Structure 1
Amino acid sequence: MISTILLLGTILSTVPGRIEDVAGSVRRNVLLPIGQTLDRLLAPVDRALQPVADGYNRRLGTYFGEMTGLQFALIFGALIALLTAGLWAPLVSGSLLRTLALASIWAIFAMSWDIQSGYTGYISFGHSVLSAAAGYTTALLLVHVNPELSLWITAPISVLAALVLGLLIALPSLRLEGPYFSLITFVAVLLFYRLTTAFTSLGGIPGFSSPDVFTWDPTMRYYYMLVPMLLIALALTFMARSNLGMILVAIRENESAVSAAGINPTKFKIWSFALSSIPMGIGGVLLVGFTGNVDPHTFVIVDNSIEMIAMAVIGGMSSILGPLGGAFLFEFLNHEVLHGFSTPVRYLFLWGLVLLVLVFARDGLFRMIWHRLGAVRGENE
């Protein structure tokens, strides 16, 4: 029996090394040759587009990051595709516009999680509690105060509720180190879930509709979700490239060195959580407008927080635009490519994808593509 256990332990101890060997072999023998071939093919295109990218770099590169010709083409092409989706998406699939609208909301969640956890390294497992606070505040205002309240009244109050709850979680927990912060955020979302299910006055609020909150028109609903998402992406990208973003990255890399430099890491970690709470609240309000009702399963469960992390991992953490792309890929696969399969099968595939990304592309698929495009130069032709 002992020898069997020792043998099993020996086998298991070699598994991580073997996985790393396989991943390294794939990178050397598959990904590297593909990248070199693409370099030769795309280098002339990169040179042709570089003058346009240089014009952007001179005006906005300082604020949002400089780009090569191919990187500019990727961002500009994706932006045009999203802005014109109301025209072409219904022609591709009857449900595609709905999927893109839902992906816009989840992109807000993933980017919001990333500016806090991806940049500081303090992983939150309970970020869905912030969007839930905003969603339930909106619902309670409409159901129990006045169903005719304008969005311009309910939305700021709901976002404020998310911010207050975020600070209540951040103030005591971000002074801790190690896994304690993650555990506190995990417990927070569990407590909120039990709160919604324990009191019928809060849990299971019936569906409601208000023209000031959402519309059933699929095209208008899509743009209601898309425009805030794009504005949040711009704002968070600007913040991430500012001094605040650099300090957050420094905290992730070496918090002791940040303290030694005379900077209070706790203050900036609290700032990052507050900065994350505001777009999470906006996303919660949009999710109310998208679904037309509020319930614990849609807003509160821990699975939502885990999906935000999965989207950030797929796209590439600590990059803002990486989680945005990861959210759209995740939702497209879930609702368009795999829609014919049962929920367990769909999520088996999606979590398998997350595992593959962690093994073979640890920086995320979109960050890998971004850096690959940035490495293309004319001399590679």
Structure 2
Amino acid sequence: MSSATDRLSTATGRIDRSLQPLAGVYNRLFGDYFGEMNGLQFVLIFGTAAALLTAPLWGNFGLVRAMTVAAIWAIFAMSWDIQSGYTGYISFGHSVLSGAAGYTTAMLIHNVNPELSMMITIPVSVFAALVVGLLVALPSLRLAGPYFSLITFVSVLIFYRLIPSFSQYTGGETGIQSVEVFTYDPFARYYYMIIPMFLIAIVLTLIARSNIGLILMSIRENEAAVNAAGINATKFKIFSFALSSIPMGIGGVLLVHFGGGVDPTTFIVVDRSIEMIAIAVLGGMSSILGPLGGAFFLIVLRDYVLTEIAGFSSPIRWTVFWGLVLVVLVFVRDGLFRKLWHGLDRFGGDRR
């Protein structure tokens, strides 16, 4: 076993050295902004990006559809991570942010004008998510520990209960199913989702690796020390929640235009927030790209491998989904993709 391990290490070391010139060019140009990478890390990141961008060329309909859904959930998981993963303030209410955006789009079209342009509905919907995010963050982030998590949990329950109370505007339990989809072409629809996902990943990674990201991580490790250093930790916590709200709103808009409608079960219930957390945990919290990888791994597994290839029923699929998350929590607490990234780091690279 030791001999086989040594041979594998030698082989991967040679591959890394052969790829190092490419990684060196990247490190000189972008290393200060996104972190330096060794050859293996470079090929992992850019090879994965190339595979995602060309998926319609090699994937079948079922796989591409699952990857389209995964792109939306990747946005949700990365958005949750920049707030909860980095600050350590775990939110159980992020689905209320995507729900605010989705419902704003649907209600504008349903109640105001069915011909409203997306150039109007999309920015208004993202702004609605930001407003709701601030309404949740301002009172809750002055608290600590479980009290913050409880308030975010209650915010979902309040939003969910308000929907049937204003059913003439929200459509009640059945929701509103009159939203225009971006396109019915499955491959074009994929790019409508994957391109915003990449842009959001780049922006959030850039922020996470900046001084702002360092402050957010410092809050997670020792908030009292951050305040003692003269930095207003509450201000940065509120900022992180507001920052998280914007891509959550974008994801909510993409989801409503993907399905052509909105309803409380798809957008609001706390299960959606728990799924975001599960994806981030499986991929690796406080890493941005970890939750992205976790989204594609879990959603493709659930919606394509277990559904179309294995033919499992819904209860079995969800059992496998949550069972896998439980195994990762017990045995790979840093997440699968953070574990992989740190494993490649022994050849030289970045550990963040």
Fraction of identical pairs, as percent: 66
Alpha-carbon offset, residue 263 of structure 1: 0.5
Q: Give matches, 1:43-62, under 5 Å.
A: 43-62=13-32
Partner residue, 2:257: 289
CA contact (8 A) 1:197 1:296 kept: no
Partner residue, 1:353: 324
CA contact (8 A) 2:106 2:179 kept: no
Deviations 1:209-242 (A, max 9, x none): 43xx511110110000000000000000000000
CA contact (8 A) 1:189 1:302 kept: yes
Partner residue, 2:299: 331
Deviations 1:44-91 (A, max 9, x none): 00000011101001101111111110000011111111111111112x
Partner residue, 2:35: 65
- Supply the AA of the counterpart residue of 1:163: L
Partner residue, 2:345: 374
Partner residue, 2:314: 343
Does 1:219 find its partner at 2:190? Answer: no
In structure 1, C-alpha distance between the alignment counterparts of 2:157 and 2:11, rounded to whole Å = 51
CA contact (8 A) 1:104 1:225 kept: yes
Alpha-carbon offset, residue 38 of structure 1: 3.7
Alpha-carbon offset, residue 270 of structure 1: 0.2
How has the CA–CA distance of structure 1 residues 160 and 33 changed in structure 2, closer, same or farther, with 3 Å as cutoff? farther
Q: Which has the larger radius of gyration?
A: 1
In structure 2, C-alpha distance between the alignment counterparts of 1:294 and 1:53, rounded to whole Å = 44
Q: Give the gaps of 5 or more residues in structure 1.
A: 1-29
Among 267, 271, 287, which residue is 1:299 paired with? 267
Q: Between Structure 1 and Structure 2, how many residues are aligned? A: 342
In structure 1, C-alpha distance between the alignment counterparts of 2:79 and 2:51, rounded to whole Å = 23
- Supply the AA of the counterpart residue of 1:89: G
- Supply the AA of the counterpart residue of 2:41: Q
Tell me whether 171-180 or 35-44 shows the greater mean CA deviation: 35-44
Secondary structure in 1 matching 2:59: helix
Q: Give matches, 1:1-381, under 5 Å.
A: 38-90=8-60, 94-201=61-168, 202=170, 203=172, 204-210=174-180, 213-339=181-307, 340-376=311-347
Deviations 1:360-381 (A, max 9, x none): 111100011111112136xxxx
Secondary structure in 2 matching 1:375: helix
Partner residue, 1:11: none
Q: Give the gaps of 5 or more residues in structure 2.
A: none
- Supply the AA of the counterpart residue of 1:268: F
- Supply the AA of the counterpart residue of 1:360: F
Alpha-carbon offset, residue 347 of structure 1: 1.3
Misfit runs of 4+, over 2 Å: 32-41, 203-206
Alpha-carbon offset, residue 37 of structure 1: 5.4
How has the CA–CA distance of structure 1 residues 150 and 34 changed in structure 2, closer, same or farther, with 3 Å as cutoff? farther
